């Protein structure tokens, strides 16, 4: 079976590689922009995702909103394709420039939500970050949204306690001693004014909400990957803020 074996010339092979990752990055930025619109108009981005993903021409792969993509492949290949097109052919890839811009701005979404809840001055506030790596099952911190998010909160006066199953040593190269690195997820939330979920590790998927509520100073969750069902979190007594969910959606959850 050779249906995935494509024989091309060298230029085409290089373009295939860059184009594949750029296409996936485009899907992510598209969903993030739709998520931001959904919040404004009172829609639920998860329902939108299910609706458009059910179209077999679109599908569900890489159709999840969040706090931005990172890693070694997507940012590098999008940048490389933009630069190569400009340098080699004098061609301006406007769409991919927009993909990159949307992704950069998306990393500011969670801090904006936090500041809307607690005010621009976060001095004296403690926030727990669950997840630092750019995605689960890796210690890769390259272009990780957690770095931008943590620095924005710190610059506003906040104190950060973070836990990631494998990426904390790598995170120290980017964040140094600006945050406190914890040995468990529960240690990170102890005394926190809010929890911000940054990386959707499997071990974060089904937390003990009662235990969390007791450990935290105030019961607020900012879900940067829409990992949790808003209804479940609200029923447990927490204020819940996801990506792409209008306030009316959360209130009715």
* Positions marked active-site: 73
Residues 6+ apart with CB under 8 A from 119: none
Q: Looking up tokens 């097109």, which residue turns up?
A: 85
């Amino acid at each position: 079976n050779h249906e995935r074996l494509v024989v091309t010339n060298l230029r085409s092979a290089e373009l295939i590689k860059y184009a594949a990752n750029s296409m996936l990055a485009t899907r992510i930025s598209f969903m993030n922009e739709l998520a931001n619109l959904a919040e404004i108009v009172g829609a639920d981005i998860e329902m939108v995702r299910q609706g458009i993903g059910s179209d077999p021409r679109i599908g569900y792969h890489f159709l999840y909103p969040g706090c931005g993509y990172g890693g070694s492949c997507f940012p590098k290949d999008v940048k490389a394709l933009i630069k190569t097109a400009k340098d080699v052919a004098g061609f301006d890839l406007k769409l991919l420039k927009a993909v990159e811009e949307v992704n950069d701005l998306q990393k500011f979404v969670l801090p904006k939500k936090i500041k809307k809840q607690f005010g621009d001055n976060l001095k004296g506030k403690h926030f727990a970050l669950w997840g630092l790596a750019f995605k689960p099952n890796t210690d890769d911190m390259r272009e990780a949204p957690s770095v931008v998010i943590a620095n924005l909160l710190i610059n506003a006066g906040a104190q950060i306690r973070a836990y990631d199953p494998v990426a904390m040593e790598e995170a120290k190269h980017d964040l140094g001693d600006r945050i406190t690195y914890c040995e468990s997820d529960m240690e990170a939330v102890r005394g926190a004014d809010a929890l911000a979920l940054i990386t959707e590790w499997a071990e974060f998927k089904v937390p003990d909400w009662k235990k969390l509520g007791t450990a935290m100073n105030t019961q607020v969750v900012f879900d940067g990957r829409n990992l949790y069902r808003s209804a479940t979190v609200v029923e447990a007594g927490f204020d819940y803020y996801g990506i792409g969910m209008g306030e009316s959606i959360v209130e009715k959850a």
